[in-house]
Amino acid sequence: MKKEYQLDQLIKAFIAISNENECKDFLNDICTFQELEKMAQRLEAAQLLLEGRTYEQVIQETNISSTTLSRVSRCIRYGNNGYKNILDKLNKK
């Protein structure tokens, strides 16, 4: 129950962000550089997979591990469309 509350608070914090600078500040405070780098890498890998790139191409372009790439791929195929929804929004800009 405590973890659910914590996750809800984190989600509300992201929703409350009003601009890019505020988001950068929050992410830099709440995450390590390596965590941010890995999340950005996963998002790029998802974009490339959705564009039809092969695992080998994605690994070469992003330097992502095959284990992490497999997880990203599973999320794209069987997840909640989180990657696709966000990437669609980003690509509309």
State pLDDT tens for residues 18-67.
Answer: 999 999 999 999 999 999 999 999 999 999 999 999 999 999 999 999 99
93 pLDDT exceeds 80? Answer: no
Phi then psi dihedrals of residue 47, to 5 deg? -60, -45
User: Taking residues 88-92, what's their average pLDDT?
Assistant: 93
pLDDT at 1: 79
Q: Which residues contact 54 (CB under 8 A, 6 or more apart)?
A: none
Rounded to two decimals, the pTM is 0.90
What's the angle, vertex CA 90, arms to CA 89 and CA 93, rounded to 5? 95
In the prediction, which pLDDT does 5 show? 95
| Separation of alpha carbons 27 and 10, rounded Å | 11
pLDDT at 37: 97
